[in-house]
Amino acid sequence: MRGAGWMTVGMFGYVVNDALIKLAAEDLPLFESIFIRGCFIALWMFIIAVTRGELKGAMKHLDSALGLRIAMETVGTALYLSALTRTPLAGITAVLQIVPLIVTFAAARLLREAVSWQRVASVVAGFIGVMFVIRPGSEDFNPWFLVGFLVVAAIVIRELATANISKEIPTVVISLCSAIVVGTMGFVGAFIEGWERPDSRAIGLLFAASIVLAIGYIGSVITIRVGDLSFSAPFRYTIMVFAIILQIVIFGDVPDLFTFIGAAIIVAAGLFSLRVSAQR
């Protein structure tokens, strides 16, 4: 239950960040936006870590699993945001919902978690809902959606790596390391893409994005540390609901009927998984 709750909180933080970055990228180059946001979020994470005294002794526990998580976070961020600026928010978000399907079976195979047929059914049902949203082969299909599958691979590896990170490393320190490396990637990319002087609107959007992304980072790490990946995985689908709402409210783009049907299936799959576990 705690894992599912933190997964939902994390997904909310990630998708609100996506919407804000998409808005900021209308005025600024993408990698410059990533760098500025990275500076803000690294500052928040550093303040929290210092205040809680979690930096002391944490560095000696750094391991290869943390390095792999950070590497996949960086690669996934660059690919995902590149696709995000060229596709509808709800559409590219839907592509990423293939992650729970892969994570569930990976958890069963590699982490030896017990995966019931009900859990498998809920994940597969959610994936069918995703197909209603993106509708491969239709005229609304965007080739940039294919980049999403590379992002999926990065996320799955990231989740499995996180499960193997030493418990001696605090969640905030993991998030701080991710923020620093992703921000550095943005700084390097900005030299290639070019710099522009940010206005107050862009700074405000990136400032807000850093806060909600911090929530996403922390939520995603705690999720893996407090519950089974195979149980919490279906709750990743809640990001679709948030994405559709934001697409309507912020971008004024109302999804079609198939998108709403897909979202309903996705939500039902998550609730079914919760009910089955509660009965047990």
Q: Tell me the average pLDDT across 159-174.
A: 82
CB 144 within 8 A of CB 92: yes
Q: How far apart are CA 8 and CA 2, in angstroms?
A: 10
Task: Decide: 240 and 262 in contact? Cβ < 8 Å.
Answer: yes
* pLDDT score, position 278: 62
Distances from the Cα of 159 to the Cαs of 145, 149, 153, 254, in angstroms? Answer: 21, 15, 10, 32
Tokens of 203: 């700074």
60 DSSP 8-state letter: G
Catalogue the E-assigned strands of 100-257: none
266 touches 130 (CB < 8 A): yes
Q: How many residues does the chain have?
A: 280
pLDDT score for 27: 87
What is the rounded CA–CA span in Å between residue 253 and residue 241? 14
CB atoms within 10 A of CB 50: 13
pLDDT digit string, tens, across residues 234-253: 777 788 888 889 989 988 88
Whole-number percent of the chain with pLDDT over 90? 18
Q: What is the residue extent of each domain of the chain? A: 2-113+142-230
**Residue 188: both structure tokens together:** 């390097």
Give the pLDDT score at 207. Answer: 95
pTM comes to: 0.77
How confident is residue 87, by pLDDT bands cut at 50, 70 and 90? Answer: confident
Q: Mean pLDDT: which of 56-70, 137-151, 210-224 is highest?
A: 210-224
